[in-house]
Amino acid sequence: MLLPTFSLVALLSSVAAQDLGVPLSWRKFSNSRPKDERISIAQNAINQMTPQLNSGTGEFNGIGYWQSGNVWSVLANQDRLAGTTINRDLVVNNLNLVFSRWQHYDQNGCVYNDDAMWWAQAALYAYRAYGNSDLLSHAMDVWDHVTGYVITPDQASSGRNPNKNFAIQSTCNGATMAGAVFWRPTTDDTSINSITTGLYLTLSAFLAEYTQDSKYTSAAIQSAEWMRSHQIRSDNLLLDSILATDCSRSPDGWIFTYNSGKYIEGLSVLGAITGDSQWTSLMVNILNSAVKTNVWEGSDGIITEGASPNENNDAVGFKSVLIRGLAEAWTRNANNGPLTTLIHSYGDVQYNALLDLAATGNTYSSSWPGPPQGFTSWGQMAALDVLTTNILTN
């Protein structure tokens, strides 16, 4: 159900957020492995993935373009969290390679704004890890490109975006459409969705932090407000998409981990850089719901979404985005003991499931509850964020 006003969302959210406790039904929500062992486990898994690199394209065999960008995100985060530079040359060289091949990281024949921003996000993680200014420039270039497909307040009022050939609704369900980001940069595509807008929010918030330029902060706030007004379901999970032409939306059951995960990440950064507690409070409420829902996990807490042992599909990569968002929330809220305990415990549930139920040596199935299977690039890709994040959250 689409909630018409934030006041109702806030009311429902405050009820849901009363208990940040760890459900006792969760399977193995702690571990005692020392940090050096956790670093080794994660790097060994990366080492199983890197032979799949196509050195001519900067992408990985067996997975899609956006999924390959997320592998580079993990490698950069691994070095940062482990305090190493093992993966640096691979990450930097290939992010530069792909940027040279595809203008704005926008792959020809694909042209999705979210695809471009997955790669820009990888460039920002790598900038944070290595301080390479070229990577920051890549992310800024993508932001400039995608900003042409963000509905501004003036465009919402006039019902026109200059890069689209159709009229847009000024409001949907009584709330402005300003801050929404079109999924595709083609002139005729009318779809707006949570992942594209959430990526833009997160990209903007990181760029605001790294450049201190207020235009990025303003952009992040505007997109965060749009998502708060339009995309939060009554149980605090993120809805998927809406059409700019008539406000019709995707089915209420289209609920995916990565929509909530990317919003959690963006709100975590936005709350930290602005000092505005409303964004942190909203993040906590959404996070609490995301890790306790029965939509993508059972009572044992293990994520079941995207289990595809025999072939790759987009959903395989969704759950790793949620885990990455939780890591950012953990980093930005170290003084919130109940929250960090919840994140640590949820991460350990996934970590222990991978190691106990889905592992064959250093390779992992895309089905985290198991059973184990031989190596697939999509299964390995999905597991990497869990293994790397666990370096941080224990």
Model confidence pLDDT, tens digit, residues 5-57: 333 444 444 444 459 999 999 999 999 999 999 999 999 999 999 999 999 99
- Residues 218-275 have pLDDT tens digits of 999 999 999 999 999 999 999 999 999 999 999 999 999 999 999 999 999 999 999 9
With beta carbons less than 8 A apart as the criterion, state whether 389 and 329 touch.
no
Q: Which amino acid is at 155?
A: Q
Model-level pTM?
A: 0.95
Helix axes 133-147, 113-130, angle to 10 degrees: 160
- Residues 122-137 have pLDDT tens digits of 999 999 999 999 999 9
Question: Containing domain of residue 348, as a range?
Answer: 6-17+25-393
DSSP-assigned states of every residue in 114-152: HHHHHHHHHHHHHHHHH--HHHHHHHHHHHHHHHTTBPP
Q: Which pLDDT value is given to residue 18?
A: 59
Cβ neighbour number for residue 347 with a 10 Å cutoff = 24
Q: How far is CA 58 from CA 52, 105, 133, 313, 316, in A?
A: 10, 12, 19, 20, 20
Number of domains in the chain: 1
In a domain, 250, yes or no: yes
In a domain, 232, yes or no: yes
In a domain, 255, yes or no: yes
In a domain, 369, yes or no: yes
The 3-state DSSP class for residue 252 equals: coil
CATH of residue 248's domain is 1.50.10.20
In a domain, 1, yes or no: no
